[in-house]
Amino acid sequence: MAKFNKPKSLTDAVFHYCPGCTHGIVHRLVAEAIDELGIEGKTIGVAPVGCSVMAYNYFTCDMIQAAHGRAPAVATGVKRSLPDHIVFTYQGDGDLASIGLCETVSAAARGENITVIFINNAIYGMTGGQMAPTSLIGQVTQTSPYGRDAATQGMPIKISELLATLEAPSYITRVTVNNVKNVRNAKAAIKKAFQNQVEGKGFSLVEVVSNCPTNWGMTPEKSLQWIDTHMLPYYPLGVYKDKDAEDKNNG
Amino acid sequence: MSEKVLMKGNEAIAEAAILAGCRHYFGYPITPQTEIAAYMAKKMPKINGTFLQAESEIAAINMVYGVASTGKRVMTSSSSPGIALKCEGISYLAGADLPALIVNVQRGGPGLGGIQPSQSDYHLATKGPGHGDFHVLCFAPASVQEMADLTAHAFECAEKYRMPSMLLADGTLGQMMEPVVLPKPSDAGKYDNSWAVTGTNNERKHNIINSLYLSPAELEKLNFERYERYEQIKKDEPMWEEYLMDDAEICVVSYGITARISRNAVDEARKQGIKVGMIRPITVWPFPVEPLKKAADKVERFICVELNMGQMKDDIELAIHCKKPVDLCIRTGGMLPSPDEVLAVIKK
C-alpha cells in the first residue's frame, strides 16, 4: 500500500502560510516534480518578495532570495553561470506581474532556459491585501476599498496570454489547485515545466490561479469556490503556448 | 609579459576584468561607458563567457547578483544615472555578503545631467550606494594603467571581504588612450566560497543566499559584524599616493582625473617656489585618513580639487579634525578645471 510521504525536496520546516492558503500545495507539487526528475542536487531556486519570500526555508535545494520582482534576472545570472543546473523562480502576482513585469517579459523573450512558477491570487498577501495587477474588476482590497474600477485602475493583466504572444517561450500554461483533479493537472504542468528545462527547451511558466482566504476575507473552502466562480471566468485554464505541440502539429 | 599596449580606459577595464577571470558581464547602454560593453560583447563569446545586454540597469545588477551567488567573478558597468538604478541591487549584494564589481564611469548630474566627465557620485559611492547600513569598497583610478590594475585588485578585495567593489572612474578616464601594461592573469578561488549556491549535489545541506532577517536582534548583530569587517578594511585597505609632500606647506587633495590636472598645477607652483604637495586618494572608501592626519600637523591649508560641489571636503575635514582650512577648487556639470585654475587656488 502506497504511503503518503513528504517529498524529499521539502525541508522539515513548518510552512508559515495562513490556514487554507494554496502555497503549501504548490510547494509540494514543485518538490514532487524535483524528486521525480531526480534533479534536487543540481537545482537552484529563487524566492521572490511576497508571501513566499521565505520559500528558501522550505526547499532542500540551494536557494537565493531575490529583490522584489527581480527573480527572473537573478535566475538568468545563475543559469548563465551554471548552464547544466536547473533554475526555477517562485513568484507571486505583485512580484512577477507588477514590479517585475519587465524582468518577466524580458526573460521570456530571451527564451531563458528557466522554469517560472507564478502564483496568481489577485492580491498582495504579505503586505496585508492591497490591489494587485491581477485583481479583478470590482474586487475590494485595502487599496481599492470601493472595488477595482477599470476607469481609474485599469484592467487586470493576463500574464499567460501576454507571454504567449512572444516567440521564444517554450511552454506557458495556466492551472489551478482548488480541487483534486485540478491539483493533478497542475502537477503535470509543473513537472513538464521542469522537464522542459532539463531538455534545454527554454522558458517555461506555469501560472497557478490561487487563493488568499485571509485577504479575500473568506473561509478556505469559500475561497476555493471563489476561484471557480470569479477567477477562472477571467483567467481561463489551459495551455497558452507549447512548442512541443506546435512542433508536432507542424509535422 | 610587461608589454605596453595603447588602450582606452574603458577597454582597459574590460580586458583587465577578463584577465582577472571574469567571464560574466551584464550591462545596459549608457554614455560614457559603452566601450566596456562593446569590448565584452566582442570578447566574451570567444572565451566561453557571458555577455548579456540586460533589459535595464536593474535587471543587469540582479543578473550580477545571480552569478555572484554562484561564487564566480562577475561585473556590470554603467554611468551615474544607471548606477542610481543599480543601488537597490548593490544593497542586496552587500546584505547577502556577495562579491561583485560595479564600474561607474561618472557623468554630470543630477537627473539626466550631461554626458561629460564628473565625480559627482562621490557621496553615493563612498557613503553606501543604496538603502541600509553598508559600504562598498571604492577605488578611484587616475590613469588607464590604474583602470586596469584596480579592476583586478577590486575583484580580489571583493572576494576577500565578501562585499561589492566599485570602480569610480569618470568620462575622461574612460575615453582617453594611454599605454598600459595589462595585469597578470588571476582568478577567483583564493578565498573560501563554500557559501555559494552551486547545487547541493545531494552531499550537503542547502546553501541560502539571503538578506532578509525578520528578527531585529539578528539583523542588528549581522550589521555590527559587517561593520567590524569594515573597521578592518579601514585599517588594511586604504590606498593613496603622496606627491612632493615632504616639505609641503599646502596640500592638494584630489583623486581620479582631477589629480592628473592638479599634479600639473603642483609642478608649476613648485617652479614658482611654492611649497605645495598632493595626497591622491586611490581608495575613496576606505578613505586614506592617516596621511591626511599626518599632513594636518605640517601644512597650512588643504585644497580639495574635484568635479563636483566639493563632496570630498567633509571626508578631508573629518580626517584632519578640522585642524586646518580646506579650500575648494571645483568644477561641475561636466566641466574640467585647467591646471591654471588649480594653480590660482594654490597661490591664493
pLDDT tens digits, B139-179: 999 999 999 999 999 999 999 999 999 999 999 999 999 99
pLDDT tens, residue by residue, B189-248: 889 999 999 999 999 999 999 999 999 999 999 999 999 999 999 999 999 999 999 999
A23-250 is a CATH 3.40.50.970 domain? yes
Report the residue from A73, A80, A85 with minimal CB separation from B50.
A80
**What CA–CA distance (Å, rounded) separates B188 from B322?**
41
Say whether pLDDT at A65 is over 70.
yes
Instruction: Determine, for residues B206 and A78 on separate chains, whether the beta-carbon distance falls below 8 Å.
Output: no
Contact between B88 and B132 (Cβ < 8 Å): no
The three three-digit cell numbers of residue A85, written as one number: 543546473
Averaged pLDDT of chain B: 97
Q: How far is CA B328 from CA A59, B303, B341, in A?
A: 56, 6, 11
**What CA–CA distance (Å, rounded) separates B154 from B92?**
18
pLDDT of residue A246: 87
Instruction: Determine, for residues A73 and B63 on separate chains, whether the beta-carbon distance falls below 8 Å.
Output: yes
pLDDT tens, residue by residue, B15-45: 999 999 999 999 999 999 999 999 999 999 9
Averaged pLDDT of chain A: 97
Say whether pLDDT at B344 is over 80.
yes
Q: What percent of chain A has pLDDT over 90?
A: 95
Q: Which residue in B has a C-alpha nearest to residue A100's C-alpha?
A: B59
Q: What angle do CA A86, A93, B93 make, to 5 degrees?
A: 55
Average of per-residue pLDDT across A174-184: 98
Break chain A into its structural domains and give their ranges. Answer: 23-250
CB within 8 Å of chain B, chain A residues 85-144: 85, 102-103, 105-106
Q: What percent of chain B has pLDDT over 90?
A: 98
Report the residue from A61, A74, A81 with minimal CB separation from B62.
A74
Q: Which residue in A has a C-alpha nearest to residue B51's C-alpha?
A: A80
- Alpha-carbon distance A111 to nearest alpha carbon in chain B (angstroms): 13
According to CATH, what is the number of the domain B241-347?
3.40.50.920
**What CA–CA distance (Å, rounded) separates A189 from B310?**
59
Q: How far is CA B194 from CA B70, B72, B200, B205, B212, in A?
A: 10, 12, 11, 11, 20
Q: Which residue in B has a C-alpha nearest to residue A8's C-alpha?
A: B202
Q: Do domains B4-199+225-236 and B241-347 have the same CATH topology?
A: yes
CB within 8 Å of chain B, chain A residues 36-95: 40-44, 46, 53-54, 56-57, 59-67, 70, 73-82, 85
Phi, psi of A130 (to 5 degrees): -95, 165
Q: Which residue in B has a C-alpha nearest to residue A73's C-alpha?
A: B63
- Alpha-carbon distance B193 to nearest alpha carbon in chain A (angstroms): 14
pLDDT tens, residue by residue, A217-250: 999 999 999 999 999 999 999 999 999 888 888 7
- Rounded to two decimals, the ipTM of the complex is 0.97
Q: How confident is the model at residue A251 (pLDDT cuts 50, 70, 90)?
A: low
Instruction: Determine, for residues B24 and A66 on separate chains, whether the beta-carbon distance falls below 8 Å.
Output: no
Q: How confident is the model at residue B1 (pLDDT cuts 50, 70, 90)?
A: low
Kindly list the residues from chain A whose CB atom is less than 8 angstroms away from the CB atom of residue B55. Answer: 102-103, 105-106
pLDDT tens, residue by residue, B103-112: 999 999 999 9
pLDDT of residue A4: 84
| Neighbouring C-beta atoms of residue A111, cutoff 10 Å | 16
Average of per-residue pLDDT across B276-280: 98
CATH fold of B4-199+225-236, please? Rossmann fold (3.40.50)
Report the residue from B55, B70, B206 with minimal CB separation from A81.
B70
Break chain B into its structural domains and give their ranges. Answer: 4-199+225-236, 241-347
Q: How confident is the model at residue B187 (pLDDT cuts 50, 70, 90)?
A: confident
pLDDT of residue B316: 98
pTM: 0.97
pLDDT of residue B97: 98
Q: How far is CA A49 from CA A52, A92, A180, B212, in A?
A: 7, 8, 28, 10
